[in-house]
């Protein structure tokens, strides 16, 4: 049996105005939208899925350019997957002239996307599911807001309008641990993809000790250290 392998391209690079320490930066509020399709094919409506297709005006322009580069148009978007039911990740196009993807992607079904599975990553939202697939030797995680972006990950601090309960923050760290135990590439909810390296994990293993509520989920630090000790496929640095 050959292992199913997929390509992915970010159609809209997400960003978020709110930064650690409640600083604000002048960037749009947009989620990261990603197209996934099999390695040995060009994307078609039948063999591809777009994640979190909540396009802003600027994001739509970016997505148009990426699709053009791939030699396809918006009509290639046949099915979509919303990682969680927050308004900034749900199907939305800035123009009504473009055909919407019509089918919701069902992970676990047969067909060209059979190798793409969903993994529950609650905390940010109780219903959050990441999409996980192989890409060559890499395991790619479309993590969405389980990891908001790299700066957020390195800060180990919840700074999104802090309505989160202690339990939700602990759940979030557990989801981060689940992702970092396996991912080679993480596509976060509001930033560009990041590569998981030994250096990144070493820094995160250290900084995790300063995070809130780590005493309630010591297994997260343990997972990171175990991967560092055992995974020979980790690149030293990006
Ligand atoms: Zn979000």
Residue in 19, 236, 238 with CA at minimum distance from that of residue 148: 19
| Cβ 133 vs Cβ 115: under 8 Å | yes
- Taking the centre of ligand 1 as the mean of its atom positions, its distance from the CA of residue 77, in whole angstroms, is 21
- Taking the centre of ligand 1 as the mean of its atom positions, its distance from the CA of residue 113, in whole angstroms, is 25
- Taking the centre of ligand 1 as the mean of its atom positions, its distance from the CA of residue 204, in whole angstroms, is 22
What is the pLDDT at residue 162? Answer: 57
- Taking the centre of ligand 1 as the mean of its atom positions, its distance from the CA of residue 2, in whole angstroms, is 35
What is the pLDDT at residue 20? Answer: 75
What is the pLDDT at residue 1? Answer: 47
- Taking the centre of ligand 1 as the mean of its atom positions, its distance from the CA of residue 124, in whole angstroms, is 9
Q: How far apart are CA 37 and CA 9, in angstroms?
A: 9
The series of mean pLDDT values per 10 residues for the chain, 238 residues long, is 86 90 86 97 96 96 97 94 96 86 94 97 96 97 96 81 81 96 97 97 95 93 96 89
- Taking the centre of ligand 1 as the mean of its atom positions, its distance from the CA of residue 16, in whole angstroms, is 8
- Taking the centre of ligand 1 as the mean of its atom positions, its distance from the CA of residue 23, in whole angstroms, is 17
| Cβ 87 vs Cβ 145: under 8 Å | no
Helix%, strand%, coil% for the chain, nearest 5 = 30, 20, 50
- Taking the centre of ligand 1 as the mean of its atom positions, its distance from the CA of residue 163, in whole angstroms, is 14
- Taking the centre of ligand 1 as the mean of its atom positions, its distance from the CA of residue 88, in whole angstroms, is 6
- Taking the centre of ligand 1 as the mean of its atom positions, its distance from the CA of residue 188, in whole angstroms, is 9
Listed in sequence order, the DSSP H helices in 181-217 are: 198-208
Pairing of strands 138-144, 117-120: unpaired
| Cβ 15 vs Cβ 28: under 8 Å | yes
- Taking the centre of ligand 1 as the mean of its atom positions, its distance from the CA of residue 89, in whole angstroms, is 6
| Cβ 90 vs Cβ 33: under 8 Å | no
Residue in 165, 171, 175, 163 with CA at minimum distance from that of residue 223: 175
pTM: 0.95
| DSSP at 172 | H
The pLDDT tens digits for 178-214 are 999 999 999 999 999 999 999 999 999 999 998 889 9
What is the pLDDT at residue 24? Answer: 84
| Cβ 133 vs Cβ 145: under 8 Å | no
Task: Map 185-230 to HEC letters.
Answer: EEEECCCCCEECCHHHHHHHHHHHCCCCCHHHCHHHHHHHHHHHHH
- Taking the centre of ligand 1 as the mean of its atom positions, its distance from the CA of residue 218, in whole angstroms, is 26
Residues 6+ apart with CB under 8 A from 28: 15, 17, 56, 58, 59
**Angle 182-188-189 (CA atoms, 0-180°, nearest 5)?**
140
């Amino acid at each position: 049996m050959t292992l199913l392998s997929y390509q992915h391209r970010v159609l809209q690079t997400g960003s978020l105005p709110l930064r650690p320490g409640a600083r604000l930066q002048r960037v749009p509020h947009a989620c990261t939208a990603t197209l996934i399709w099999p390695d040995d094919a060009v994307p078609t409506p039948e063999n591809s899925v777009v994640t979190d297709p909540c396009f802003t005006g600027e994001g739509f322009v970016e997505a148009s350019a990426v699709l053009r580069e791939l030699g396809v148009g918006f009509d290639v978007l046949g099915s979509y997957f919303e990682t969680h039911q927050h308004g900034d990740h749900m199907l939305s196009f800035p123009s009504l002239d473009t055909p919407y993807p019509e089918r919701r992607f069902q992970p676990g079904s047969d067909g060209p996307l059979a190798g793409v599975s969903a993994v529950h990553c609650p905390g940010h939202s109780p219903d959050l599911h990441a999409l996980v697939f192989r890409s060559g030797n890499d395991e790619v995680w479309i993590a969405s807001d389980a990891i908001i972006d790299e700066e957020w990950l390195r800060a180990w601090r919840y700074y999104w309008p802090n309505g989160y309960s202690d339990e939700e923050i602990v759940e979030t760290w557990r989801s981060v641990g689940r992702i970092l135990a396996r991912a080679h590439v993480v596509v976060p909810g509001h930033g560009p993809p990041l590569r998981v390296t030994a250096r990144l994990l070493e820094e995160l293993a250290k900084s995790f000790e300063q995070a809130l509520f780590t005493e309630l989920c010591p297994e997260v630090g343990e997972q990171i250290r175990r991967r560092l000790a055992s995974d020979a496929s980790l690149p030293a640095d990006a």
